[in-house]
Structure formats: structure tokens, C-alpha cells
Structure 1
Amino acid sequence: MTDPSTTDQSTTDQSTTVASTTVPSDAPAEGVPGKGTSAKGVPSEVSEGAPSEGAISRRRLLGTAGATGLALGAAGGAVGYAAGSSFSSDASSSSASGEEVAPLSSLGAGEVMFQGKHQPGITTPLQARGHLVAFDLAAGAGRKEAAALLRRWSETARRLMAGEAAAQDDTGVARDAGPSSLTVTFGFGHSFFARTGLEKQRPDSLDPLPDFSSDQLDKARSNGDLWVQIGADDALVAFHALRTIQKDAGGAARVRWQMNGFNRSPGATAHPMTARNLMGQIDGTRNPKPAEPDFDERIFVPESGASGEPAWMANGSYAVVRRIRMLLDDWEQLSLKEQENVIGRRKSDGAPLSGGSKATETTEMDLGKTDSRGDLLVPINAHARISRPDQNGGAAMLRRPFSFHDGIDAKGVPDAGLLFVCWQADPLRGFVTVQRKLDRGDALSKFIRHESSGLFAVPGGAAKGEYVGQRLLEG
């Protein structure tokens, strides 16, 4: 299963946010997908066109790069959109009332660029909070209404990701926060093209996914005309973006389903390390990395069109979204050794079972190594063995999930697991190839259940002055 394990098809490393960095959505740093390599001074002025009364840009909050601790004014008043004066690059500054105010912490100051070759939220490092939401176009809404909606959504994403207030009727939910590495990503589902009269532009790669034996899919929580992924390192910043996107939909679209997730917060560990999932497993060991020479080929649709993809999908990617329930009560009854055999890696540090006592998470797995009795150290049905690219014709995907916990269900068991999101240039060669292999004998399958599913075409990033999907909707 391509989902909650320490698998060799795993998620991006969870890393501490760099202070006051501006991260282009298509410029990851070495070893950390999507992370910029140099700090950038953050402008303190109100952005052009921003409301002048009561909605001053959240960008005003950004102070010295690398400052720690988000503080309030000296008198204890909240600092936010309505601050009397913008922050300088000093360690502290004064508001119009003379109160001393401190700069944002590095966590709040992280900024990801909206515009770029690729949309943000694909190679961006995992964020602490996420929302996945699908919309259906309203009855009577078509291509014209969809274009206007994507234009509104793109402008909202640009503003909020830059730490600015929403253009209209900002709720103030994120008033005290910086951008907090917010990303907003947009995609189109299979049904979108019929609704907008664009069937001839629908990619063959959007053909419905096949059925799998572990599927128990709720159709009401699957698919959708439009899909939005929101991530941030602050829960209120993420919710603010979610609420604003929902309000922007107006009468053009209605929410079909929404799912909320989380990851470990940057800085929660003594040093940056690969994240763990709700099974306690290190989850992200062998995710493809942007530094690899074939990364773009595996993850993004090429510009040339040689792949047979429509021109509007150049530099885009395909997102497979699955709500995967972890049967935690069953899983936690296994002994540590049994859990490790299911996965094929040590639970403590993610090292392969074939590696010996000095192995680390990055030690190469030896699939043929046996113990003194001749038994394979990595069992034949171990998840990490089955999901490896070299066991699936080189198939790979960039996994970028969120964990979820939606309380206790009617049977008294945790409704918890993984909001699985994976990215690839071709879902048939990526997700489908690996999932078919897992479907035939993965030891992890008895401890998980796929409860919803979606496949979305995510076009390339918007250039300056463009909105996401413009080349499709106006081409």
C-alpha cells in the first residue's frame, strides 16, 4: 500500500522552517524539497491595492530574520493588520502608540511564493496543518463561471501566501500571524471538463482509477470537479485560507467534501528528521528528492508535449488523494517485532531489518539477506519491500500526506489515519502500478482501509498576472 508506512515510497522530510525565507514554489534547496537556500528581507510596507483601513498586510509583522518568539506589544495588546506602523528590520519596533513590538518567530515568517514554474504545495516541505477540500460547480455554472472563480482563488492565494489580508471581508482569523509557509494548490477532477464543455482538453491520465481490494470508498467523499490543497505551519493561518477560499466560491461552486490533517510541527524535534505517522513508523525514508536527476521526469508533466499531455498541463502534476483509515486497535495489538516485520524496517529509527545493528534509516535494504535459519530478514510481504521502485519497474511518486484524527466512530474505535496525497507525472505508471502490486500481498493491507479517493490534474504554476488554469480556461 502506498500510504502510512515507512515505505520506500514515502513522504518528504519534516524540517525546521528557515527564518524569514521567501521560497519560490519551483526552487527547492538541496536535501529539503521546496526550501530556499538564502534569507530574504521581507518588505514591511502594505501591498499595492491592499485595504487601507483595518486590513493592513500581515507582512507588517515580519521583522528580523532569525528572531525567535512571537511576542505581543509591551503592554500586552495584540499586534496585527491594524498595527500603527510597519516593522523595520530591527529586533523590535514601535507601533503608532509607542508600544515596543517584537518580530515574528522564524516559524511565522516562512513564506512560499505563489507564482512559479510549478504550483506551491508539491515540493514544499511538509506543513504542520492541512486542509483538503473538493468542490462541485453549481447548477448552471460553466466555463465562464469557473474562470472567474479560479481568478478569484488565485488572487486570494497570492495575497494570503504573502502574508496579506484577503481582498474583501477579511475575517481577521490570522490577524496576528505571518505567512507561516502557507500554500494553496488547485486541481481539476475528471467531471470538471464535461461541466465546462472542455472534454477535448481532458487528459487521458485523468481516467478513473481502477478498483483495489482494500477499497471501501464513500462516493460522497471522493472525486469532485475542483480540488484545493491548503497547508501551513499555523492552524489559524490554514483555517483562514480555507474559510476565505470557501467564501470566494460564492454561488459558483459548493463544497463536496473536506478533510483536515496535521503533521509534526517544525522545530518539535531536537534536529530536523523524517516524520512519523500515527502507527509510530518513520514515514519518508525514500521519497524522491528534487536533487535526483530524474525527479522532474517522474513528478512533473514536461513542457514539450511529447508525453501526449495537453499543452495546458505543462509543468503540472497529477495528485492522487486517498483517505486511508488505520485500524490502530488491531495494529497496536501486534508486538514490536511483528510490526517491524509488516513494514520491513525498525520502528525506532527506520533502518531496514537487513541492515544490522549499525544500520541507519538511509542504509540500503538488502532484499536477499537471510538469518541463520535461512529466513529473509525483510519478509517477502513486507510493505517496504513491495513498494520499492526497483520492485515496480522504477515506478515512483512524491508522497506528501497529512495524518488525520476525526474522533471515535460509532463502534468506539479511532477514526484516524492518513490523508494520502501523492504526486506524479503519470498516475498509471506511478500510483496505480505500485498499488496493484501492494494489492496482491502487502502485509500492511489488513491494518488499513481506503475510504475515499480522488484523482486531480494540477496544472503548472501561474506566471505574474495569470491565474491557475488560465491556459485551459482561456486557451
Structure 2
Amino acid sequence: MSDPTPMKRRSLFGYAGAAGVGAAAGIVGGRVSLGDPPGPHGLPVGEGVTRQRHDPYGVHQSGILTPAPAAHRLLALDLLGKTDAGALARLMRVWSGTIAALMAGRPAPGDATPDLAQEGVSLTITVGMGPGVFRLPGLEDKRPAGFQDIPPMDHDKLQERWVGGDLVVMVQADDETTVAHASRRMTVDARPFALPRWSQAGSWRGVDPSGNPVTGRNLFGQVDGSRNPSAEELGQALWSTDGWLSNGTQLVVRRIQMDLDEWDALVRDRQEKAVGRNLQDGAPLTGGSEKDDIDRTAQVDGVPVVALDAHARRAHPAENRGRRMLRRGVNYSHVDDAGQETAGLLFMAFQASIAEQFIPVQQTLDASDALNEWTTAIGSAVFALPPGFSADHHLASGLFD
């Protein structure tokens, strides 16, 4: 597929890491040159997490490598029975215009609440297609290689209300008002073509008290997102080279419920052994700092310092034939219809091939991960995220060629 984005409109991304997603951030919003020196956590000097204006246009969609702001929402939609490939292409054109306007701080076409549009709020909107799209007549042979649903795992307890979807919209910004407004505009645009299936919202704290970017923490108190791939490893792990999806990626969403009461009852030493890193700063139990790798050979009196079932060891590329992926997490707290509160992590994994990367790693963790005692997957969905778009080429234009 030819590059849909003219060079003059490109937002060039490097393969270093983004604050809030561990050691992986590159060029943000097309406002920094490739020559800018990296700052803390790989973020270019002068860049921040909040009050940013990200470019909607680029080789890749925004919201994948951009730093994680405070407010997040994932929306899954199901296609209406009358929506064929042509209708879906029309929705992609409409959504492209809405995304470009909202990310620039302008009201979207037909916006009934135009005063809610605001620039400088770190807004990104990312769109993806679920397996159902590739069952539409004319699109059956466009299903990307390695794109498949996650097979059943022994520790899963999936709930139908958090599973699946034909389309996904990922909205991120500094504040929930912006996220709610953008989410509504995308949902209203979609009404002639698709209806909501589920909505999952969460938050993330990717800055320190001074506003500097840091790796955030999940609700277990863990520094979450350390040791994401960087540099060339990131490019190889993340971006597809497969036909229309080239420069796009594949997304797995897992809703991970956490047993906070049982976790809180553990002594700190037990918590750290389950993870393989200390809770204070995320450094490996074998020493060093957060960004340092664990020493899988370190022992004391013949006992591994990082336990054989510690999460950091079981998820390590060396335990998984070098497999890597970009991980982003969002904390959630949800009150159900019965008034019961649950909490956990909306885990998002981005990779070039779900079949070759996520599934084998998840099977390793499902077989033996100390954290399985306190975590349960209750939701699961997969989506193909098209490459970026330009003012002259709408989202996923290559899919419909």
C-alpha cells in the first residue's frame, strides 16, 4: 500500500518510549524534530504529558505512542445489519473529519455543544476494527495476518458485557469533560452505522507532583509499564507490515479485575516477590533502578532472588522467545447495577501480530504467574488499528481499495 500521508503533513514518530507507557516515547504530535535529545523516560526535552496539542495526522494514529494523560475512555460499537463495506468507509470519512477538528480544538461538524471543544487538552482519538469487520462482503480477504480472538485462558472469568466489538474508539485527554464530549461526538457520528456495545473508562497518573512525566502506578501500587520495548525493538514489535494495515498495529484490550482487599492484607515483602520488583520505585529485586532489567540468574543461598513465578520473570522476553509488545494501562473503578464496586486495570497491548506475540505470552502467564492469585480477566477484545491518515486520505482508506 502506498503511504497515505503526504510528507508535509506527517507527524514523524521515533521509536523511543512514551511517559506513561514505560520506556517507549518518541516524537509527539509532529512538534519535535528527530534530532531533539531525550529527556526523562525517553520523552523529548520540552515535551510534557498535559496541555498538549497532538497532531491528528501522521504515519501512525495518535494515542498509541503519545504520553498517557489523566482521563481515558474505550468505546466498542457493533455494526448495524445494514452496514456494508461502503457504509463503513463513509463512517471512516466522517470520523476522520471529526477527529481532525476535535484534536485541533475546533467543534466537529454538526456539533450541538461546540463550546466544549478546546485545544491544548492533550486530546487523542484512536480508531480500530474488530473481527466482525472482516466478515463483511468484500472485506473477508482483508483480515490481517495474526489477527484473532484470544483463546480461553484457565484463569479467565469473562463477562459478556465486556467482551468483543466490531469497532473501537479510544479517547484520551487531560480531563473527563473533554473525553466525554469527544466520545459523544464519535458515537453520534456512528449512529447510522453502529451502536454502542460497551464503554470502559479509567484514569492514569503519569506525572509527578511537579508535572514531570513518570511511569504511572496501577491500583496494587505497582509502577506499571517498566521495560517496554524501545528504539528498534519497539518498531519491530509494534507496527504491522501487512498490506492495508502497514504502519498500523493490533490491539488487545483486557479488563483485569483486582482483588484489592486480599492484596492489601499481604505483607509488602510478599507483594514485591509476586511482582519481582520493589513497590517504592519499581526497581528489580536484583537491584538498580526502574528502567533496569531483572537479573534472572541472581540467587541467594541457591534460591532465585526473583521467584520463578514472579510476574516480571514470567512476562520477560527471555522467557517468551524474545516476544515483546507495547503495554499501556488504565486504572478503573466500577459500581455495577447491584451497587457493588469492583476495581482493576484496563490493560492494552499493542503489537504487530496478536497470534505471534500476545497469545503465547498470555499463555505463559496463565500457566504460572504469581499475580494470578489476585487478578482475573473479566473482559477481552481485539482490534486492528489502521495506520494514520491525512487531510487527503481518510482513516483506513487502504482497507477499501
TM-score bracket for this pair, using the shorter chain length: 0.7 to 0.9
AA matched with 2:275: I
Q: Give the 3 Å change call, closer, same or farther, for CA 240–339 of structure 1 in structure 2.
A: same
The equivalent of 1:241 in structure 2 is 182
What is the RMSD computed on CA atoms of the aligned residues? 2.5
Q: CA deviation at 1:207?
A: 2.3
5 Å matches for 1:334-413? 334-355=266-287, 359-371=288-300, 373-407=301-335, 410=338, 412=340
Kindly provide the amino acid, as one letter, of the partner of residue 160 in structure 1. Answer: L
Which of 81, 96, 108 is 1:154 aligned to?
A: 96
Query: AA paired with 1:449?
Result: T
Q: Is the Cα–Cα contact under 8 Å of residues 25 and 117 in structure 1 kept in the other structure?
A: no
Match of 2:272, as an amino acid? E
Q: Letter of the 1:23 partner, please give it.
A: G
Q: CA separation of 1:192/1:264 partners in 2, compared to 1, >3 Å: closer, same or farther?
A: same
**Alignment match, 1:300:** 239
* Consecutive unaligned residues in structure 1, runs of 5 or more: 1-10, 16-20, 40-65, 67-105, 303-308
Deviations 1:142-198 (A, max 9, x none): 1121111111111100110111111113414625x4231111111111111213531
Q: Deviations over 1:61-103 (max 9, x none)?
A: xxxxx9xxxxxxxxxxxxxxxxxxxxxxxxxxxxxxxxxxxxx
Write the letter of the residue equivalent to 1:246: T
- What residue number does 2:131 align with? 190
Give runs of aligned pairs for residues 278-289 of structure 1, distance below 5 A: 278-289=219-230
C-alpha distance in structure 1 between counterparts of 2:69 and 2:271, whole Å: 27
Structure 1 pair 346–111 and aligned structure 2 pair: CA distance change class (3 A): same
For structure 2, which runs of at least 5 residues remain unmatched after alignment? 1-16, 22-26
Look up the equivalent residue of 2:218 and give its one-letter code. N
**Alignment equivalent of 2:87, drawn from 145, 161, 185:** 145
Partners of 2:42 and 2:100 in 1: CA distance: 17
TM-score for both structures, normalised by structure 1:
0.74
Alpha-carbon displacement from aligned partner over 1:234-273 (angstroms, at most 9, x marks no partner): 2211111101101111221100111001101645456432
Task: Give, as a single letter, the amino acid of the residue that structure 2 aligns with 1:183.
Answer: T
How is 1:176-325 mapped onto 2 (pairs within 5 angstroms)? 177-264=118-205, 266=207, 268-269=209-210, 271-289=212-230, 292-302=231-241, 309=242, 311-325=243-257
Q: Distance in 2 between matches of 1:157 and 1:270?
A: 27
**Secondary structure at 2:141's aligned position in 1?**
helix
Cα distance in structure 1, aligned partners of 2:305 and 2:147:
39
| Structure 2 counterparts to residues 32-43 of structure 1, below 5 A | none
Aligned to 2:116, the other structure's residue is in SS state coil
8 Å CA contact 1:160, 1:179 repeated in 2: no
Instruction: Tell me if the contact between 2:41 and 2:214 (Cα under 8 Å) persists in the aligned partners.
Output: no
Displacement after TM superposition at 1:324 (Å)? 0.7
- Greater C-alpha Rg: 1
Equivalent pairs, count? 378
* Contact 2:20/2:214, CA 8 A, preserved across alignment: yes
Matched residue of 1:158: which SS?
A: helix
2:55 matched to 1:127? no
**Cα pair 1:12 1:400 within 8 Å, conserved:** no
Quote the Cα distance in structure 1 between the aligned partners of 2:60 and 2:113. Answer: 29
Following the alignment from structure 1 to structure 2, what is the Cα–Cα distance between the partners of residues 220 and 235?
Answer: 22
Match of 1:460 in 2: 387
CA 1:173–1:421: 2 relative to 1, 3 Å: farther
Q: Percent of pairs identical after alignment? A: 35
Separation (CA, whole Å) in 1 of partners of 2:203 and 2:355: 28
Change (3 A) 1:419 1:207: same
Q: Give the residue type in structure 2 aligned to 1:224.
A: G
Are 2:257 and 1:330 aligned?
no
Give the superposition deviation at 1:351: 1.2
Paired amino acid for 2:263: W
Deviation, 1:363, is 3.1
Say if 1:22 and 1:297 are closer, same or farther in 2 by CA, change over 3 A. Answer: closer
User: Greater helix share, 1 or 2?
Assistant: 2
Q: Does residue 355 of structure 2 align to residue 423 of structure 1?
A: no
Superimposed CA distance per residue, residues 353-407 of structure 1 (whole angstroms, 9 cap, x where no aligned partner): 112xxx3212332112222x33221111100011011111110000012111113
Q: In structure 2, do the counterparts of structure 1 residues 207 and 274 end up closer, same or farther at CA, with 3 Å as the change threshold?
A: closer
So what's the TM-score if we normalise by structure 2? 0.87
